[in-house]
Structure 1
């Protein structure tokens, strides 16, 4: 027993000495510099058929290795798309990308007879939840709110819809809305924001409990924005309306299960030429991604230029910017989040010890933690540029469908509206390295 303790002490001293010897090097190395490789997986023509995937204001949800595209508006006079599900198989490697993607069109059918299916809609909220696609809210053909507070669940195995309705005798559901954000938290759901019938942005936050079928209000957000993401029981928002600074707001929703309520925390970060940071934007992408080894980020990309003309919480509007400024962005940024803790189900030391956690610990001792720091993602060309045909980058756009692929280091993007106001119908895989 004594020999075992001595061995453990010696191992600890070796690790400690090694960490001290490399501390200066570790602090000097960047922790937030990712590269991205874009691969176009498919294109769709605006031919007016049901199978056309030229659309915007839709949702794209990844379950397994497939993308499920629902709703939105087509390029044909901004017409509302049908309520069918479009399924696109996602390539797991660059080699598979070159072969193209399998595609299926699934009609809207109820899982239980006479239970109904979600109506056609755009600007709805969607997320993946335990092998299902969850959909909430949205707007109809005329742009009016869908007066339905049901969470619709599409079972990908049974290719059918199920209605998850609240128990209204014990709780009131959140008001109808469009352009909200929905996130899965275990079996439960977290809903944030959106717009009401008058187009006024909402700042409320709700949680739906799957077991009790009840909605519970959480603390209202300190900002209204279309930029929201969810990671490790934390809701993240990014908001800004000028070119000099933006703000990060986050709420730990796990504290609301019982006991005292948690509160929002906020961080202001600069976005001027003297400090790295993304320019304010709306209707782009914000996702939790991970490159492995315990390193976590928010990926903030594309979108429309955030201007003072965007509606505020009071519905007021201000003068739009000069027409000489870009109307959309094509850049990508990462915000470093706290690194993951030691894995509890690991089978080896290399799996249990997360390098990112160790590196951040060393950096913190020297006052150089990378948490909540920004870095622009560098775009790498595909391996064979000379033999490549078509576009190399999706270009600036907003109102597109997007989601992270389950391993966490790749993102799929589909459709949207480009800088000319035209509706796109292409799909892309963005691999982060």
Structure 2
């Protein structure tokens, strides 16, 4: 506790110093743009089997040192199998294989396993991969009630998370978003069996197995993520403006939870990302309390998908017919820096959260702290050009799968649809600094 107390004392001193305009702590150093380095993990062949890793509408979830890929539609237009593909991202003492295919088996004899699907929602949840909803082989929304599938990475087997109140849980859907939040799951949006867009938000408590509905989002969108206890969604209108909406999930009382809106311009005078669909939106950090949202790639879209056309269906249709622009850019949105965490187990520098201190000093000196602003990520050349095989960037694409590693500054992406409408089979690591 002594270290935590020291951290609190130092933080108070620096805050006071900032208020009197003395002692600028790295005030002049800008917080953006961030820089990114790409490295290719592997490229798979465009075979016509259900095990092909050239796919879209799939998911990638990182549990410990592995990326787990599930579902989607292959390059041959076939629904991928219900096997799990595991890619080792970092070596471990166990000497695990770099890549393996795990057949779908239940954790108990006679148990159930999920059917093959695409357009499902997924997230890493403890040592599991959680799956909800999606589209089956016949192109219909899978109706499994409010049940969650759990792939236990420790057992390499499937189990189910059944709701204690299935009649009041979320309805069947596709293209939704699922997030882990403090030993619970949060589900947002998607499209129902009739193809109608949804903007509802649900919370599933893992211990009680009870679903609770949270306030509906102001809009339905394909871009959503969860960071530091807030659910974020992005919407855009044309090429002149956009909105970041967020819902705090950590309010003490359910009645205190409400959506907030932060508009942002997207024009040559104040640069920002243009409206897009099939993009990636992830929470990232450069350490010490500095938090961002990373918004990457996607296809240009003036209207959200309608009817039974999923995000990936729309991307492919547009790429072949109207030839819209696919994006290869990446943007970061700077969030408010996180509060100091006074924990006896943390070192004083990490507990202090210098980003919060720097922002306090900037505010005291009348300098913009950069929060609630966009910056385009600067792409750096790879350290080893020869090992990249000539390709140093995945190129424009949409409907890919992505997740962020434990360090919060390394992003992994896989597959997707390119501007020609072809499905990609490559995996990439993106390191931010």
Q: TM-score, normalised by structure 1?
A: 0.88
Q: Which residue of 2 aligns with 1:331?
A: 329
Taking a change above 3 Å as real, the CA distance of residues 355 and 105 of structure 1, as seen in their structure-2 partners, is same
Give the Å deviation of 1:216.
1.0
Cα distance per residue 1:329-366 (max 9 Å; x no partner)? 00000001111221222554323221101111112221
Give the one of 122, 125, 134 matched to 1:126.
122
Cα distance per residue 1:240-293 (max 9 Å; x no partner)? 1310001000001122x6452311000110001111211111111000011111
Matches within 5 A, 1:198-347: 198-255=194-251, 258=253, 260-308=255-303, 310-311=305-306, 326-345=324-343, 346-347=345-346
SS in 2 for 1:399: coil
Taking a change above 3 Å as real, the CA distance of residues 210 and 349 of structure 1, as seen in their structure-2 partners, is closer
Write the distance in 2 (CA, Å) between the matches of 1:138 and 1:422: 21
Matches within 5 A, 1:148-187: 148-149=144-145, 150-168=147-165, 171-187=167-183
Give the Å deviation of 1:308.
3.1
Give the Å deviation of 1:306.
2.2
Cα RMSD of the aligned pairs, angstroms, is 2.8
Whose relative contact order is higher, 1 or 2, with alpha carbons under 8 Å and at least 6 apart?
Answer: 2
Write the distance in 2 (CA, Å) between the matches of 1:13 and 1:237: 37
Write the distance in 1 (CA, Å) between the matches of 2:69 and 2:48: 17
Give the Å deviation of 1:192.
0.2
Write the distance in 2 (CA, Å) between the matches of 1:159 and 1:9: 47
Give the Å deviation of 1:9.
9.6
Q: Which residue of 2 aligns with 1:427?
A: 427
Give the Å deviation of 1:389.
1.4
Q: Which residue of 1 aligns with 2:3?
A: none
Write the distance in 1 (CA, Å) between the matches of 2:410 and 2:431: 4
Taking a change above 3 Å as real, the CA distance of residues 114 and 162 of structure 1, as seen in their structure-2 partners, is same
Number of paired residues?
Answer: 410
Give the Å deviation of 1:51.
3.7
Taking a change above 3 Å as real, the CA distance of residues 80 and 396 of structure 1, as seen in their structure-2 partners, is same
The answer as to whether partners of 1:240 and 1:306 remain within 8 angstroms in 2 is no
Further displaced range: 195-204 or 346-355: 346-355
Write the distance in 2 (CA, Å) between the matches of 1:11 and 1:220: 38
SS in 1 for 2:201: strand
Matches within 5 A, 1:47-196: 47-76=47-76, 78-91=77-90, 102-149=98-145, 150-168=147-165, 171-196=167-192
Give the Å deviation of 1:199.
2.1
Taking a change above 3 Å as real, the CA distance of residues 92 and 31 of structure 1, as seen in their structure-2 partners, is farther
SS in 1 for 2:237: coil
Which consecutive unaligned segments of at least 5 residues does structure 1 have?
Answer: 1-7, 94-100
SS in 1 for 2:255: coil
